[in-house]
């Protein structure tokens, strides 16, 4: 099913063209000394899965609450105009907000598909090209999975401005590490935190399992960014590292704005400024906004971009303390949770088979 009639807010056009200006690099050395990247490549090959079969797409979703999220976690919960709406209006608003959020996952995954393909072309080492090739197929699968989930809802929305700005910046930059920094560190780091919210709080087994399986792959993608950049950044000058730190701070502000859903509130006829004020000021929504950075900050520290620019930027955003988190433990947990989802489904199918005998 093509997304032509499903858009609630109509996109400006059917496609987005981003001019490119970088060298595609061949390598004749066929080097194989980056054992860490080759290990990740081996894991990437072994952990391939098929979204068609691993996920039970026959599961129904709740039309009123397709992502199965508790009302208390809705960003406008407690906002006086929302509380005064009729039940039908509240359902419509939440349904649109969930479709909007899921659409950002879908478009972001398409961005990841394109960025990983760009890395295949541009990155100097063959070991990194190999790994990025496995990431490219992972991202295609993620686009497929989120598209199917959105098809079930029957409603989608265009890419939001702040995400588009950041993607445009990342794709237009001709320095290969900037693609990693924007995509593997910032966009994917933020996506991981958002996916985890659905995986861990959704009452919909379908929505939860899609996010759990995508997260299992994303753990490798973030590891790829860490392994590559950790090696590369000490070789740069302080001025070059400072430029990257400046970019990271600005990118994080863009990403925080990406969750404001301004165009959706406007489309739904709400008072946009007041809705955003509510999201900035209520403690639950504020917590959500800072929590989104719990995957990014420890990685930024790990890759060695931890100078005064980044530390001040993150202190101002109130997210500096996340630097203490153990990113390896979080990634190991993402893989373990995906395995639990597999076990649960196997169990359900076993019980159903016994019942049918």
Select 112 or 268, whichever has its Cβ closest to Fe ion. 112
**How far is Cα 58 from Cα 206, in angstroms, rounded to an integer?**
9
Question: What is the DSSP-derived secondary structure letter of residue 184?
Answer: I
Select 112 or 166, whichever has its Cβ closest to Fe ion. 112
Is residue 220 near Fe ion by the rule CB under 5 A? no
3-state class percentages of the chain: helix first, strand second, coil last, to nearest 5: 70, 0, 30
In the bound complex, what is the minimum distance in angstroms from residue 211's beta carbon to Fe ion? 11
Select 183 or 248, whichever has its Cβ closest to Fe ion. 183
Would the CA dihedral through 193, 248, 287, 73 be positive or negative?
A: negative
Is residue 114 near Fe ion by the rule CB under 5 A? no
C-beta separation of 24 from 174 below 8 A = no
Radius of gyration of the chain (CA): 21
Select 109 or 216, whichever has its Cβ closest to Fe ion. 109
Select 95 or 141, whichever has its Cβ closest to Fe ion. 141
**How far is Cα 331 from Cα 253, in angstroms, rounded to an integer?**
24
> What x/- string results for residues 129 through 158 when contact with Fe ion is judged by CB under 5 A?
----------x--x----------------
Beta bridge partners of residue 156, listed in sequence order = 7
Is residue 112 near Fe ion by the rule CB under 5 A? yes
Chain positions 174 to 203 lying near Fe ion, rule: CB under 5 A, are 188
Chain positions 291 to 320 lying near Fe ion, rule: CB under 5 A, are none
**How far is Cα 25 from Cα 88, in angstroms, rounded to an integer?**
55
User: Quick one: which of 34, 90, 220, 221 contacts Fe ion (CB under 5 A)?
Assistant: 221
Chain residues in the site for Fe ion (CB under 5 A): 109, 112, 139, 142, 188, 218, 221
């Amino acid at each position: 099913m093509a997304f032509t009639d499903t858009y609630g807010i109509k996109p400006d056009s059917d496609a987005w063209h981003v001019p490119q200006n970088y060298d595609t690099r061949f390598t004749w050395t066929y080097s194989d000394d980056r054992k860490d990247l080759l290990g990740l490549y081996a894991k990437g090959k072994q952990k391939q899965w098929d979204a068609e079969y691993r996920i039970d797409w026959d599961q129904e979703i709740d039309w009123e609450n397709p992502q199965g999220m508790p009302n208390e976690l809705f960003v406008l919960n407690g906002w006086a105009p929302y509380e005064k709406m009729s039940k039908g209006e509240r359902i419509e608003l939440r349904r649109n907000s969930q479709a909007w959020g899921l659409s950002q996952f879908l478009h972001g995954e398409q961005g990841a598909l394109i960025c990983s393909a760009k890395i295949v072309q541009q990155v100097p080492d063959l070991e990194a090209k190999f790994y990025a090739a496995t990431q490219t197929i992972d991202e295609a699968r993620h686009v497929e999975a989120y598209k199917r989930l959105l098809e079930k809802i029957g409603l989608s929305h265009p890419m939001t401005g702040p995400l588009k700005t950041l993607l445009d910046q990342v794709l237009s930059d001709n320095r290969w590490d900037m693609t990693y920094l924007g995509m593997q560190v910032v966009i994917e780091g933020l996506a991981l935190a958002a996916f985890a919210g659905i995986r861990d709080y959704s009452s919909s087994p379908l929505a939860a399992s899609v996010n759990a399986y995508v997260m299992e792959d994303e753990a490798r993608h973030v590891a790829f960014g860490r392994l590559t950049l950790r090696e590369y950044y000490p070789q740069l000058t302080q001025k070059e590292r400072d430029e990257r730190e400046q970019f990271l701070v600005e990118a994080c502000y863009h990403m925080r704005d990406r969750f404001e859903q301004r165009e959706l509130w406007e489309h739904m006829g709400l008072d946009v400024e007041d809705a955003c004020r509510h999201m900035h000021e209520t403690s639950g929504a504020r917590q959500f906004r800072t929590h989104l950075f719990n995957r990014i900050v420890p990685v930024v520290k790990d890759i060695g971009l931890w100078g005064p620019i980044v530390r001040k930027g993150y202190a101002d955003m109130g997210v500096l303390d996340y630097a203490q988190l153990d990113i390896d433990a979080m990634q190991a947990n993402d893989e373990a949770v995906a395995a639990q989802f597999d076990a649960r489904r196997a169990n359900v199918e076993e019980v159903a088979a016994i019942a049918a005998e």
